[in-house]
């Protein structure tokens, strides 16, 4: 624990030379001690004040410290094995437009890219009319027949990654 700072020399009474001066210093220090005790008692009463026993607002009350939360063993976010929830894809007959987006036919190495199955990505957006317009983008993945590198097609610029188009959001 830290010791209190020592008083400045001018705050200390002069060194008494006689017994009478010693009694004077003791009386002065006794008065100062009584004043300080009074001040401490007043301050202790002030510390006890809160919104229930004074005119202080509840927001000024000192909040109790809450116990720290126990750290979870799990990582944040979706847990492994958790099945995500998505909108069900519409049947091909219910889709307004289908865009087949294929990977390049030739790999950088010069080998042919063998197309694979399409990954269906549907975006529902508000058409100019009242009816919703659904466009399906088929993103194909292919494998180079020479070096076995995988190639994937990408969504065109402006097509959202989600399932709701920009016109739905206003």
The residue ranges of every structural domain in the chain are: 15-57, 92-169
pLDDT at residue 12, as a whole number: 65
CA–CA dist 23, 164 (Å, integer)? 91
The neighbour count for residue 41, using CB atoms within 10 Å, is 10
Q: What is 148-163 written as a DSSP string? A: --EEE--PPTT--SSS
- Phi/psi for 31 (5° steps) reads -65, -45
Which segments of the chain have a pLDDT < 50? 1
CA–CA dist 81, 137 (Å, integer)? 27
pLDDT at residue 141, as a whole number: 92
Strand-pair category, 97-101 with 150-152: unpaired
pLDDT at residue 1, as a whole number: 45
- Alpha carbon 50 to its chain centroid, in Å, reads 32
pLDDT at residue 130, as a whole number: 66
What are the tens digits of pLDDT across the range 76-92? 888 888 888 888 999 98
Question: Shortest CA distance to 135 belongs to which of 97, 168, 166?
Answer: 97
Is pTM beyond 0.95 here? Answer: no
């Amino acid at each position: 624990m830290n010791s209190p700072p020592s008083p400045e020399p001018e705050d200390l009474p002069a060194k008494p030379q006689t017994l009478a001066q010693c009694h004077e210093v003791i009386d002065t220090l006794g008065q100062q001690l009584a004043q300080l005790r009074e001040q401490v008692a007043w301050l202790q009463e002030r510390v006890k004040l809160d919104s229930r026993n004074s005119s202080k607002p509840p927001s000024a009350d000192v909040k109790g410290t809450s116990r720290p939360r126990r750290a979870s063993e799990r990582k944040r976010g979706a847990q492994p094995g958790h099945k995500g929830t998505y909108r069900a894809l519409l049947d091909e007959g219910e889709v307004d437009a289908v865009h087949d987006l294929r990977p390049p036919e030739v790999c950088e190495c010069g080998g042919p890219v063998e197309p694979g199955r399409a990954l269906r990505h549907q975006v529902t957006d508000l058409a100019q009319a009242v009816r919703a317009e659904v466009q399906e983008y088929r993103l194909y993945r292919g494998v180079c027949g020479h070096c076995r590198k995988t190639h994937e097609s990408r969504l065109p610029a402006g097509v959202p990654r989600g399932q709701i188009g920009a016109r739905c959001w206003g």
